[in-house]
Amino acid sequence: MNEFLLVTGGCRSGKSRFALQWAEACSGQRLFLATARATDKEMAERIRRHRRERGKEWLTVEEPLDVEQALQTHGHQAGVILIDCITIWTSNLLLEMRSDERILQRTEQLVETLGQLPCSAALVTNEVGWGVHPAHPLGRRFRDIAGMVNQSLARSADRVVLLVSGIPITIKSGGRANGPR
């Protein structure tokens, strides 16, 4: 049975490592869908390091905006998909001047696309609302829309795991919610 796993937590909490280990335990072709952009030297090095850590067993697709299309193109051959990171994808959409409503629609489209694929998927995201209250309107808008995206994904996920200081805590297990979206 295919599983939809949402992995969440704070920065450097071990989310990506946990999701990677989970995905590596799955059989079949591994697809890593990366949403980050190499906008500076530090980010470019981070992307290179993550590629090395994944190894050659992974097909890596870099797509900062059109995640759904990338999944439709590459997801049907995969045994497991890992999308890292939903928070960066949300930020990319926000910076493209997308409305909050449109970002939430895209989130629903992402869930629908994942449901059409014959494989398991893990999505990595951040709990950005647990930090400092943003001083600027764009920061507050980002925090709010990221929280709404996470809520939508958590409702649709089979399992949600929160990472705290490298320790995974299952906060939802046993299937998708049937309640209102």
Q: CB-hemisphere CA count at 13 Å for 150? A: 23
Domain residue ranges in the chain: 4-172
Whole-angstrom distance, CA of residue 70 vs CA of residue 56: 19
Architecture of the domain defined by 4-172: 3-Layer(aba) Sandwich (3.40)
pLDDT in tens, the chain (181 residues): 589 999 999 988 999 999 999 999 999 999 999 999 888 999 899 888 888 888 888 999 999 999 999 999 999 999 999 999 999 999 999 999 889 999 999 999 999 999 999 999 999 999 998 878 899 999 999 999 999 999 999 999 999 999 999 999 999 998 655 433 3
Cβ atoms of 126 and 85 closer than 8 Å? yes
Cβ atoms of 42 and 4 closer than 8 Å? no
Q: pTM value?
A: 0.92
- Please list the active-site residues: 50
Rg (CA), the chain: 15
